Structure 1
């Protein structure tokens, strides 16, 4: 006689993935950054802002860029575009997550989202914590 035990399925980790998907040169100077936000947290976010340090081709911080990506609906991938003025896309070597300045799930208190973030890039420019 074989006894089969049902084991509970492991819960999928709640993650918010931020992907730098594409950089596009803007006429007249500047760079447009295309970000995909994949919200697999089980929560919708009515507030989500982050500060990125933009590093030039020599690895020197050129500026800080504030990104307001809210709202981020639950179980959705959201596209957001941001313009970075006065720098060529080819001159951006890295984007460093400096700070998550707001992370507020809908109908909940502000939370620390740093630990649930996964950062990726499909461009030659790295997106890192």
Structure 2
């Protein structure tokens, strides 16, 4: 059976990151950011998902290793169900991200069944700005990983 990554790439022609380990690797954000001394990354880890009465609460650990504070970062995310179908598109506002500091952000997504979540695709940077940094830089530096078994992080 094809993985969600294969289905997404074949079904909607997405280009996935070609360098480094794939999103199935669950590295701590600090380990990913420290992968090389010259690493200029935004390590984005899907850390946990928890079902509440009304929503699926998704927790990310993020570390900005771009060498510059980010005044704000908003990413467009596409949520796929376990069958590879798009469940929804949403904007995730991570707010300000200081350089070289780990941050935790939670998002409650009403009406989403966590048990059916199969993948989170970061489709693009709606906004991402800091001194000498723009949205394109943020997407190029994005390093998505997942600690949640059965849920991939893609870019």
Structures share fold, TM-score greater than 0.5: yes
Residue aligning to 1:76 = 101
1:88 to 113, 116, 125: 113
Indicate if the aligned counterparts of 2:125 and 2:135 stay in contact, CA closer than 8 A: no
Instruction: Point out the structure with max Rg over C-alpha.
Output: 1
Please state whether the residue corresponding to 1:43 is helix, strand or coil.
coil
Residue aligning to 2:49 = 23
Aligned-pair distance for 1:94?
0.5
Listed one character per residue, the Cα deviations across residues 77-128 of structure 1 (whole Å, up to 9, x for unaligned) are 00000011112111100111111111101x4563411111100000021110
Residue aligning to 2:25 = none
Q: TM-score, normalization: structure 2?
A: 0.71
Listed one character per residue, the Cα deviations across residues 23-52 of structure 1 (whole Å, up to 9, x for unaligned) are 01112x320000111111111000211011
Q: TM-score, normalization: structure 1?
A: 0.85
Cα distance in 2 for partners of 1:56, 1:15 equals 28
1:110 to 129, 134, 143: 134
- Structure 1: which 5+ residue stretches go unaligned? 1-9
Cα distance in 2 for partners of 1:110, 1:98 equals 16
Cα distance in 1 for partners of 2:73, 2:62 equals 11
Aligned-pair distance for 1:57?
2.0
Cα distance in 2 for partners of 1:53, 1:109 equals 24
Query: Which structure is higher in strand share?
Result: 1
- Structure 2: which 5+ residue stretches go unaligned? 1-35
1:60 to 71, 78, 85: 85
Cα distance in 1 for partners of 2:116, 2:37 equals 41
Please state whether the residue corresponding to 1:114 is helix, strand or coil.
helix
- The CA RMSD over aligned residues, in Å, is 1.5
